[in-house]
Amino acid sequence: MLVDKGNHKHFMAKEIHEQPEVVGHTLAHYIDMVHERVALPSEMPFDWKKLKRLSISACGTAFYAGLVAKYWFERFAKLPVEIDIASEFRYRDAPLEEGDLAIFISQSGETADTLASLRYAKEHKLHVLSVVNVPTSTIARDSDVVMPTLAGPEIGVASTKAFTCQLAVLACLAIAAGRARGELSEADEQKLVHALIEVPRLMTQALTLEPQIEKLAVELSKTRDVLYLGRGTSFPIALEGALKLKEISYIHAEGYAAGELKHGPIALIDEKMPVIVIAPHDRVFDKTVSNMQEVAARGGRIILVTDPKGSQESTIDSAHTLTLPEMASTVTPLVYAVPVQLMAYHTAAVIGTDVDQPRNLAKSVTVE
């Protein structure tokens, strides 16, 4: 298939902008839009109720999608989740129980570490489910169940649209698990699904922040280090933000759970250090604000990514505030990923790096 950049300067920009559409396609594959219910396209070869534990493994950006999913599976389905970076999973002798479920997440479906973990799980007689973007890939072929993401070909080495599509699939799967295990009522399911259906529209709104982010990127391009903070499902988005920025702009960036700030990274904060805080107005918002106060007190430059309520209630003077629309807290990881991707993209574009093919990185890593 021939893929071009359309009107965009880089594939990455095009792929960021495609998200409302491809996330919409992916959701339509897993949701009965009329009844606002999850309708998984394949039968599960196991009983959700009998599962004692779920193991998730993946690499890079796909690992962060798994980290978000851990919060969802535990909250919606009360299913304990263990999550590993794939290269660690099979060497740490985790006690695995026959008949439990292992989920592997991979855009390419060819990542060697993820594939090796999958085979390890099979040796231990776990059910193997994969979330992949390439349905003909080795990981897909070796799985008991394949849940495809319908992101279309992703060319930019730094994953963007595949990530949000992975989140869309994993959210549907966690809701299905919650229903099957009797932890979510029909009304709960409808509410969650309704929120997911809103995501493409919310992403389109998030993309309108681009001119503001382009200006901010000029400032970010002059810095040496950037810290990203978040709590709950915004923590993996902070990790993903830092990964995106370092991958393509070569600026050192770290993602941290906001509450962990005081246990180390606070020592780095001075007036030169931008601190990007991912803080939708959710149940941990007040806690994140108190972490922001610690940054402000040390002269750190706060870039706050929040919603209207959050920007109203935050008592901190931030250097910049990016305001996203109000949304259900379940879907914030999908929508907040957009400004985070745009910040990395525009910073790299200002610096002039090879955004689509950053040095030393490969789209698919087939060696361990």
Tokens 């229903």 found at: 179
Residue of 19, 61, 306, 318 interacting with ligand G6P (CB under 6 A):
61
The closest alpha carbon to 324, from 343, 305, 337, 344, belongs to: 305
**38: β partners:** 31
Give yes or no for residue 59 binding ligand G6P (CB under 6 A): yes
Residue of 96, 157, 172, 192 interacting with ligand G6P (CB under 6 A):
157
For the CB of residue 63, give the shortest distance to ligand G6P in the complex, in Å.
8
Choice between 254 and 356, CB closer to ligand G6P: 356
The closest alpha carbon to 294, from 344, 256, 336, belongs to: 256
CB 338 within 8 A of CB 6: no
By DSSP bridging, strand 31-32 and strand 37-38 are: antiparallel
First to last CA, the chain: 29
Stretch 159-198 residues interacting with ligand G6P (CB under 6 A):
159
Spatial separation of the C-alpha atoms in residues 128 and 132, rounded to whole Å: 13
Tokens 């969650």 found at: 192
Q: What is the DSSP secondary structure assignment for residue 3, as one 8-state letter? A: -
Return all residues near 193 (Cβ < 8 A) that are at least 6 apart.
31, 36, 37, 38, 175
- Tell me, by CB under 6 A, how many residues bind ligand G6P: 16
Give yes or no for residue 143 binding ligand G6P (CB under 6 A): no
Give yes or no for residue 365 binding ligand G6P (CB under 6 A): yes
Choice between 329 and 357, CB closer to ligand G6P: 357
Spatial separation of the C-alpha atoms in residues 125 and 141, rounded to whole Å: 17
Give yes or no for residue 60 binding ligand G6P (CB under 6 A): yes
Choice between 102 and 302, CB closer to ligand G6P: 102
Choice between 157 and 324, CB closer to ligand G6P: 157
For the CB of residue 239, give the shortest distance to ligand G6P in the complex, in Å.
12
CB 154 within 8 A of CB 14: no
The H-or-E segment that residue 323 falls in is strand 320-323
Q: Which amino acid is at 205?
A: Q
* Residue, CB closest to ligand G6P: 60
Q: x/- contact string, 72-111, with ligand G6P (CB under 6 A)?
A: ----------------------------------xxx--x
Spatial separation of the C-alpha atoms in residues 271 and 299, rounded to whole Å: 5
Choice between 157 and 295, CB closer to ligand G6P: 157
Residue of 27, 54, 62, 335 interacting with ligand G6P (CB under 6 A):
62
For the CB of residue 246, give the shortest distance to ligand G6P in the complex, in Å.
12
**145: β partners:** 129
Q: Taking contact as CB under 6 A, which single stretch among the options 12-20, 151-159, 212-220, 312-320 is the one that binds ligand G6P?
A: 151-159
Give yes or no for residue 338 binding ligand G6P (CB under 6 A): no
Q: Does the annotation mark 122 as catalytic? A: no
Choice between 61 and 291, CB closer to ligand G6P: 61
Spatial separation of the C-alpha atoms in residues 333 and 305, rounded to whole Å: 12
* Relative orientation angle of helices 332-351 and 161-180, to the nearest 10 degrees: 170
Residues that bind ligand G6P (CB under 6 A): 59-62, 106-108, 111, 114, 157-159, 361, 363-365
Q: Which residues are catalytic?
A: 363
